Amino acid sequence: MNEKWKMESQRKRYSKALIELGKQRKDIVALDADLSTSTQTAKFAQAFPERFFNCGIAEANMMDTAAGLAASGKTVFVSTFAVFGTGRCYDQIRQSIAYPKLNVKIVVSHAGITVGGDGASHQITEDIALMRVLPNMRVIVPADAPETYRVIFEIVKDRDPVYVRMGRADVPTITEEQDRFKIGKATIMHEGDDVTLIGNGIMVSRCLLAAEELKKHGIEARVLNLSTVKPLDEKIIVKSARETGAIVIAEEHSILEGLGSATAMVLGENASVPMRRVGIPDVFGESGDCEELMEKYGLTAENIVNAAHDVLARKK
Amino acid sequence: MDLMHEKEVEKLSERARTIRQHIVRMTHAAGSGHPGGSLSAVEILITLYFKIMKHDPEKPSWPERDRFVLSKGHAAPALYAVLAEAGYFPVEELLTLRKLGCRLQGHPSMTWTPGVEMSTGSLGHGLAVANGMALAAKLDRKLHRMYVLCGDGEMDVGEIWESAMLAAHYKLDNVTMYLDRNMLQLDGPTEKIMSIEPLADKWKAFGWNVQEIDGHDLREIVMATEHATQCHGKPSVIICHTVKGKGISFMEGALHFHGKAPKDEECTKALEELGVCK
């Protein structure tokens, strides 16, 4: 990874934000399913033992318990690995959290292929697909640790459910501490008029690297951080499509039904321009080192550059 | 709570008959719904709403109210009938069950219907939800209680046993669960579809205070609930032996009335049995 960026853990920042919130607000409670030392909610548990409930390896039960707490006025943070916090308890999220629109903040870690050595059983690449089709659910994929911190403070401003996705690996810090985050609002990370590179999570940094590379070829790329997958910032997508005429979307998720698909639908209905998705193909992952896996499954700046050349060629 | 005098029992029994009439009329008017499991739960529901629970239809979000979660959400007609009789919404509205744009959804929804504490319908969720409410009450040092009604078919659901463990682990003595043991689930007798016995032993082994009663006997329901309230340090389950379709001769123990509404002539006959003159 590029040496100009500091590498930082999203989970640690999440934990820090949660503890600060816990100090400010008595209604904040946290639940985990025997992964609190990994998701870092263990630190909240230490600080506020009476407001932390370990539910054991029982995610379905945890989600419904969270719903009950929320129905009684609590702001409930639920954490586990992304693979267990979505697929293992989808019905509970659907029936008891999304449908009644309860104040449950599902904040998961270890999403995507960057989980590494644990292999495909733990590398969920379809969680965004699962969450974004639920009515009332918002979906946020912060780009780095500081943005994760901002996201946590932002989502407690309302009483609606939300899904926040973090990775296991440390990610490059590409935003500033003083930046602002608003649900449903994308940020422009780099200005350019030739092509738009859209990313979220760890792939925003890859988009920035790709933009640098494209600049060497005289191509000015605009880079957008679409940390909110839902509600999607359709306005900025359409505007960028019209202004740059070509779009590449990069995400650490299956190319099916993630940010790429969501963006493609907006483009198809509002501003048809050449577009390409960079993401994990429709396959399960495997064990390996985080960087090796990103390389093997195509999550590289190089792939984004190639995709940009492709859409630029089609634009003419 | 005080035990019941003959007069009060009579009054509540009359109430039960009215609720049963509503259930028959509602499911008949809707042309679908679940009369069998609604009828088996009538006595449990009326005892809760008209004798046991602290609640106020004028202030449905009163923080100190007792909470009721209908885990077996398909018994929605029974819950709606009781809520309407208690004053949460007009009794006339009952006949709008399952109709487009109306508040009485096929399964309970807390966002659609006043008095409904939790949206249910997918089975096996209610106990965990009640546990969450119980944890919140303990955190807030509130004394209100959580009541949850589960069907026996729900004992098939793994999550029930996850939440059974959680309630015992966190010593949620403010949770009382009623198990509507009517012996039938959609596909047939519970012991034929999936053996769940010995139920009492299972709940005991999970650390619960267990009682078994006749789920149609109002006095027994009140006494068992009182006993549950007095039990400290552990949650309570009351296994209520009931009859599916209770109160209507041709519906009692009849499997096909699990999820089928009475037809015109069945409705008339049922209402006659329930004391409604032609």
Domain hosting B57: range is: 6-273
Contact A56 B120 (CB under 8 A): no
Contact B162 A51 (CB under 8 A): no
Taking residues A148-176, report their average pLDDT. 98
Taking residues A262-274, report their average pLDDT. 97
Reply yes or no on whether A59 is catalytic: yes
> Could you tell me which residues are beta bridge partners of residue A160?
none
For residues B271 and B278, is the Cβ–Cβ distance under 8 A? no
Confidence of residue A114 (pLDDT cuts 50, 70, 90): very high
Amino acid at B170: Y
Q: Which CATH class is domain A8-172?
A: alpha beta
* Residues sharing a CB contact under 8 Å with residue B141, sequence separation 6 or more, in sequence order: none
In the set A8, A20, A50, A59, the catalytic residue is A59
Cα atoms in the 13 Å half-sphere on the side-chain side of B261: 18
CA dihedral A36, A40, A44, A50 (to 10 degrees): 0
Reported as type and span, the H/E element at residue A154 is: helix A145-155
Of A56, A61, A74, the CB nearest to B159: A61
Helices (H), ranges, chain B: 6-30, 35-39, 42-47, 76-86, 126-139, 158-169, 190-193, 199-205, 218-230, 264-273
Of A29, A65, A71, the CB nearest to B166: A65
Phi, psi values for residue A270, rounded to 5°: -125, -30
Q: How far apart are CA A277 and CA A197, in angstroms?
A: 10
Q: Which two tokens stand for residue B248?
A: 């209507």
B131 to chain A, minimum CA–CA distance in Å? Answer: 6
A135 to chain B, minimum CA–CA distance in Å? Answer: 14
B132 to chain A, minimum CA–CA distance in Å? Answer: 4
Taking residues A186-211, report their average pLDDT. 98
Q: How far apart are CA B57 and CA B98, in angstroms?
A: 22
| Interface test mutation site (partner B, options A51, A59, A64, A93, max chain B beta carbons within 10 A) | A64
pLDDT at B4: 85
| Interface test mutation site (partner A, options B72, B109, B125, B171, max chain A beta carbons within 10 A) | B125
> Hey, is the C-beta of B82 within 8 angstroms of any chain A C-beta?
no
pLDDT at A2 over 90: no
Helix-then-strand count for chain B, H and E: 10, 7
Q: Which two tokens stand for residue A22?
A: 């816990």
Cα atoms in the 13 Å half-sphere on the side-chain side of A252: 37
How many Cβ atoms are within 10 Å of A125's Cβ, its own excluded? 28
Q: How far apart are CA A269 and CA A81, in angstroms?
A: 35
pLDDT at A3: 75
Does the global pTM surpass 0.90? yes
For residues B4 and B224, is the Cβ–Cβ distance under 8 A? no
Q: The CATH number of the domain where B236 resides is what?
A: 3.40.50.970
Q: How far apart are CA B5 and CA B216, in angstroms?
A: 17
How many Cβ atoms are within 10 Å of B4's Cβ, its own excluded? 18
Interior angle at CA A295, CA A290 and CA A300, nearest 5? 105
CA dihedral A85, A86, A87, A91 (to 10 degrees): 110
| B278 occurs within a structural domain | no
> Hey, is the C-beta of B62 within 8 angstroms of any chain A C-beta?
no
pLDDT at B191: 97
For residues B209 and B236, is the Cβ–Cβ distance under 8 A? yes
Q: Which pLDDT tens digit goes with each residue over A68-113? A: 999 999 999 999 999 999 999 999 999 999 999 999 999 999 999 9
Residues of chain A with CATH 3.40.50.970: 8-172
Helix (H, G, I), strand (E, B) or coil at B142: coil
| Residues of A in Cβ contact (< 8 Å) with B109 | 99-100
Count of CB contacts below 8 A, A vs B?
102
| B34 occurs within a structural domain | yes
| B1 occurs within a structural domain | no
Helix (H, G, I), strand (E, B) or coil at B225: helix
Q: How far apart are CA B36 and CA B72, in angstroms?
A: 12
Q: Which two tokens stand for residue A122?
A: 């733990």
Helix-then-strand count for chain A, H and E: 13, 14
Contact B163 A73 (CB under 8 A): no
A261 to chain B, minimum CA–CA distance in Å? Answer: 30
Q: How far apart are CA A14 and CA A225, in angstroms?
A: 19
Strands A138-140 and A228-230 come out as antiparallel
> Hey, is the C-beta of B158 within 8 angstroms of any chain A C-beta?
yes
Residues of chain A with CATH 3.40.50.920: 187-315
How many Cβ atoms are within 10 Å of B264's Cβ, its own excluded? 8
Residue B154 DSSP code: G
pLDDT at A4: 84
CATH architecture of A187-315: 3-Layer(aba) Sandwich (3.40)
Strand order in the sheet with A52-54: A52-54, A28-32, A75-79, A104-108, A162-165, A138-140, A228-230
Q: Which two tokens stand for residue B37?
A: 């499991």
| Interface test mutation site (partner B, options A26, A28, A61, max chain B beta carbons within 10 A) | A61
| B261 occurs within a structural domain | yes
* Averaged pLDDT in 10-residue chunks for chain B of 278 residues: 84 97 97 96 98 97 97 98 98 98 98 98 98 98 98 98 98 98 96 98 98 98 97 98 97 92 96 87
For residues B212 and B185, is the Cβ–Cβ distance under 8 A? no
> Hey, is the C-beta of B117 within 8 angstroms of any chain A C-beta?
yes
Of A66, A68, A100, the CB nearest to B111: A100
Total domains in chain B come to 1
A84 to chain B, minimum CA–CA distance in Å? Answer: 15
Q: Which two tokens stand for residue A37?
A: 């030392």
Nearest partner of A153 among A13, A6, A43, A11, judged by Cα = A13
| B147 occurs within a structural domain | yes
pLDDT at B185: 96
Chain A residues contacting B via beta carbons under 8 Å: 29, 50-51, 53, 55-56, 58, 60-61, 63-74, 91-92, 94-96, 99-101
Angle, helices B158-169 vs A59-71, to 10°: value is: 60
Q: Which pLDDT tens digit goes with each residue over A277-316? A: 999 999 999 999 999 999 999 999 999 999 999 999 999 7
pLDDT at A1 over 70: no
How many Cβ atoms are within 10 Å of A147's Cβ, its own excluded? 29
